[in-house]
Amino acid sequence: MRLFVFGLGYTGQALATRLRGQGWHVAGTGRGGTLDFDDVAAVRRELATATHIVSSVPPADERDPVLERYGNALGESATWLGYLSSTGVYGDAAGAWVDETAPTGTGRRTARSAADAAWLALGARVFRLPGIYGPGRSTLERIAAGTAHRTGLTGQVFSRVHVADIVTGVIAGFGAPPGAYNLADDLPASHDDVVVFASRLIGLPLPPLVPLDGLSPMARGFYAENRRIATTKAKRLLGWRPLYPDYRAGLRSVSAMSNPAITSAPPVIDSTDQR
């Protein structure tokens, strides 16, 4: 089996590592790849022999660079196609649960919504992902580095997904029909809930409270949206279940795998967390 990944970054490399361990040939572009995205001849040769193609490349300048450069080749291929999209395509839901039947394109990520729709039109399995975290890329590292903050927004919630659960979701999608699939944990929560738990987990002081007007315009746009992501479809059609069903389980795993700089302080027990 041969996988080609446009964008071998954090998530793409995790997928590549898992499949290489199962004997797959994996090639791709991006910081973890060996091919230059602009080397059209070399990329097309790999695409011609791939059994599965995944793109994790987000839009740039309001366009999807993969579809712009290689869309014709992908459209003519009978190869399995996958696209790592974002739950940001749903926009603000005022805290309600949203599934794959919810309208898209109403939020701040219009280019992502357009790319999402274009990949669906090609017959891809489109995996809509919320905030991604995992080893080396989580609230724990930001707290340890002194770059984390709290917002004071208790009513604003969003979903998350551990990178390992994206990998198992994509692999489960190899045998699934084309369409959109949400992959997220089962416990949407506020930013501050996660920060407080992570601080106590590694025994560091709570980060400072930063009001919205002290954040960047991009961050303010993020906190202006409020939604909970439902994953019933992925569980039903893919047989997928998250290994880390909530941020507590996920952060405990990250903490156990992290370097001593994060785990050197003794943990503080959170008496409210008995799970």
Tell me the average pLDDT of the chain. Answer: 91
Q: What percent of the chain has pLDDT over 90?
A: 83
Contact in structure between 24 and 78 (CB atoms under 8 Å)? no
Please tell me the predicted confidence (pLDDT) of residue 260: 52
Task: Classify 231 as helix, strand or coil.
Answer: coil
In this prediction, residue 273 has a pLDDT band, given cuts at 50, 70 and 90, of very low
Residue 234 has pLDDT above 70, yes or no: yes
Residue position matching structure tokens 């190869």: 79
Tell me the per-residue pLDDT of 244-271, one tens digit each, with 9 for 90 and over: 999 999 999 999 987 554 544 333 322 2
Q: How far, in Å, are 195, 198, 200, 256 from residue 205 at the CA level?
A: 10, 10, 8, 19
Position 175 pLDDT exceeds 70: yes
Mean pLDDT of 204-231: 90
Whole-number pLDDT of residue 106: 82
pLDDT of residue 269: 29
